[in-house]
Amino acid sequence: MIVESLQKELNLKKWQVEMVIKLIDDGNTIPFIARYRKDVTGSLNDEILRKFENRLKYLRNLKEKKSKTIERLDEINKLDDNLKKQILNAKTLVELDDIYRPFKSKKRTRATIAREKGLEKLANTILKQEINESIYKIAEKYINIEKDVKSVQNAIDGAKDIICEIISYNSEFRKKIRQNTFYTGKIETKAKNKEDSSEYEIYYNYSENLKKIPSHRILAINRAEKEGIIKVKIQCEASEITNYLKRHVLKNISKIPEKIEYNPHTTSIIEECVLDSYKRLIAPAIEREIRSYITKNAEKRSIKVFSKNLEQLLLESPFPGKTILGWDPAFKTGCKLAIIDKTGKVLETSLIYPTKPQKKVKESIKTVRSLIEKYDIDVIAIGNGTASRESEKIVVDIIKNMNVEYIIVNEAGASVYSASKLGSEEFPELNEGERSAISIARRLQDPLAELVKIEPKSIGVGQYQHDMNQKKLNESLSSVVEKIVNEVGVDLNTASYSLLNYVSGIRSSTAKNIIKYREQHGGFNSRSELLNVEKLGKKTFKQCAGFVKIKNPKCPLDNTIIHPESYNITIKLLKTLNYSLDDLGSNNLKLNNIDLEKLAIELDVGVETLKDIINELKKPCHDPRENMPKPHLRKNILSIEDLEKDMVLKGTVRNIVDFGAFIDIGAHQDGLIHVSQLVADKFVKHPLDIVSVGDIVDVKVLDIDLARNRIQLSMIL
């Protein structure tokens, strides 16, 4: 059943599903399967494999829950063939919960109390609708002073409570009502106090169809509700739902509710129960379920956008071979400076007070110019936090007539890193401000190496990330970091603990042992040396070996993405083509126009594996980030006051959300390109279809709102 479901959902062949399940169950990681098991999976990529893994977990959980549900119902003698069939056919956990709901042990309800009074039989009698005498006469038999049933009306009221609960627990009813409410209902919001102004004023009197409302609005509404600013309600056409219930609960009823053939003894009572059950029990529960459903979908979409943004940010082109001055701006506490050399080593830190209240501008300029000359600084990386604008003005004055440029760096998460245990361990002798300045400089030099030290959700390329399911957010973002780290690969002799911790198969303790080994032995000379690391066995080696590289190794293949398990094939391939390992990376290697099918048979290797080996031999040690846009450096400042309508500028995409993209145009305040302004002549479903974080784009100024500090832009293609 699970195999068939995965096959259908992900549009895969049966053999693919079976093979991936086997690989996952054998303990292989997703990065390893995606790169080194293409021949047996049909070249399934990382994205599909992660979806596969998540759905496999869900379906196995569903299967286990079905089994436990059947077991529980059997224990309490409530299981019959029909119920068992319903359980086995349930497609989701929600469906399964609906089926099991009537049998759950629950808190005391009005129906529970009525059952305790012995009124369940009366309720069933009314529901059968087969009596030909007054229900009030039948109810007289249930009067019991000791059980607090003092009158006929008491008995009937108790029976009605039981009927209401029976109707509300019907899984088919709930499924139909849930669908009807979602497809025809609206979400409506009202301000608790219309006099109060806030960023949520758009939702003070707002209504939108449930099935059409975009995810960013759902998350904004949830936040406004949580902050006590608005009230939220789901509205739908109740009469359509209650008519549906009447048609299915009442017997001898035509399809037109107005033409009910009344049983004078029970129909009016059941009609009352239908209305009460829907209003008091079903509608509130369905509203909670739908709110939960649309929130989960909004979170899922938002996490997807966040993940894509994070992926692009981590893949931003490194800026190697430059000496960088990191500038962490501030007012009262001063601006912290840190100089790093071309390898990222910290050369010096300093503290200046160019901003208010001290405003020691001259002294600060003198200090920075001295550092520029002393270390031959190429670039100044300014954090975009508090006092960034003021710092930028001073930097522009400092670098006049000097061969130095500057760039504004997104410092989101730098303070988190500087105050973390990792930051303290890395620079125990420095304070938090100095560590933050180092982080700002390093994230320009090698974004991936530095950003992996920070909790992904603190990097600042998402929307409403603090309002959503943190477990799912962290899992998704960690998967992105893992994917990119393994896609790029790490230098085994220089990689930090944070980088190593994301390498396929390597756990926290293993990463620490790798660093301990290289400190004791002066580094690694080959990948195979990993097997000498404490608690790193053959299984872990197999998973991680292809994702770690060694510069200037004994074996040239140790600095490629070719896995050690394929070294013999690679050497055999080179020999077949009259080459050797000495030709690796040289212009001598001619690997075009090769008959892959024929050569794969000759070498007894899969075609996809052979293709990857040849591609790596053509371009060994290739860093996928090399193809990304380079950082956009500046020498002059631009403020929002300098902007004019129709001005054309170049900018960098800093963040992407559902409704548009935020662009750094050097005016301190990012401008927004609304999704409708990304392309002039066609509809854009989502900004990610057009731009990515880190892209360098040409934009035109549409509007400047100085009062609200907002800039509206359009894209120039």
Instruction: Give the CATH number for residue 433.
Output: 3.30.420.140
The number of C-alpha atoms within 13 Å of 644 and in the hemisphere containing its C-beta is 1
- Partner residues linked to 286 by β-bridges: none
Specify the pLDDT at position 638.
77
| Burial label, 663 (beta-carbon count in 10 A; 0-12, 13-18, 19+) | buried
Q: Is 584 helix (H, G, I), strand (E, B) or coil?
A: coil
Does any domain span residue 425? yes
710 pLDDT above the threshold of 70? yes
Strand spans (E) along 441-566: 490-491, 548-549
The number of C-alpha atoms within 13 Å of 508 and in the hemisphere containing its C-beta is 1
Among 365, 356, 506, 345, CA closest to 438: 345
Does any domain span residue 609? no
Give me the mean pLDDT over the 48-68 stretch: 96
Task: Look up residue 171 and give its amino acid.
Answer: S
192 pLDDT above the threshold of 50? yes
The pLDDT tens digits for 281-324 are 999 999 999 999 999 999 999 999 999 999 999 999 999 999 99
CATH assignment at residue 94: 1.10.10.650
Q: CA-to-CA distance for 503 and 32, rounded, in angstroms?
A: 10
Instruction: Give the number of domains in the chain.
Output: 3
Tokens representing 100 are 């099991």
Does any domain span residue 570? no
Give me the mean pLDDT over the 44-48 stretch: 96
Specify the pLDDT at position 194.
80
Confidence grade of residue 256 (pLDDT, cut at 50, 70, 90): very low
Percent of the chain with pLDDT over 90: 76
Among 20, 46, 48, 19, CA closest to 482: 46
Domain end (from 103, 131, 154)? 103
Confidence grade of residue 592 (pLDDT, cut at 50, 70, 90): confident
DSSP 8-state code for residue 41: H
580 pLDDT above the threshold of 80? yes
The number of C-alpha atoms within 13 Å of 114 and in the hemisphere containing its C-beta is 23
Domain end (from 70, 103, 136)? 103
Query: Does an H or E element contain 120, and which?
Result: helix 120-128
260 pLDDT above the threshold of 50? no
Q: Is 92 helix (H, G, I), strand (E, B) or coil?
A: coil
Specify the pLDDT at position 263.
62
Confidence grade of residue 589 (pLDDT, cut at 50, 70, 90): confident
CB-based contact 351:336 (threshold 8 Å): yes
Domain end (from 445, 478, 511)? 445
Percent of the chain with pLDDT over 70: 98
Domain carrying residue 16: 1-103
Specify the pLDDT at position 637.
76
CATH assignment at residue 664: 2.40.50.140
- Partner residues linked to 663 by β-bridges: 653, 671
The pLDDT tens digits for 493-551 are 999 999 999 999 999 999 999 999 999 999 999 999 999 999 999 999 999 999 999 99
Does any domain span residue 680? yes
606 pLDDT above the threshold of 60? yes
Does any domain span residue 279? no
DSSP 8-state code for residue 281: I
Does any domain span residue 345? yes
Does any domain span residue 260? no
Contacts made by residues 629-632, CB under 8 angstroms, sequence distance 24+: 629/316, 629/317, 629/694, 629/695, 629/696, 630/317, 630/319, 630/696, 631/316, 631/317, 631/319, 631/407, 631/444, 632/407, 632/696
259 pLDDT above the threshold of 70? no
Does any domain span residue 205? no
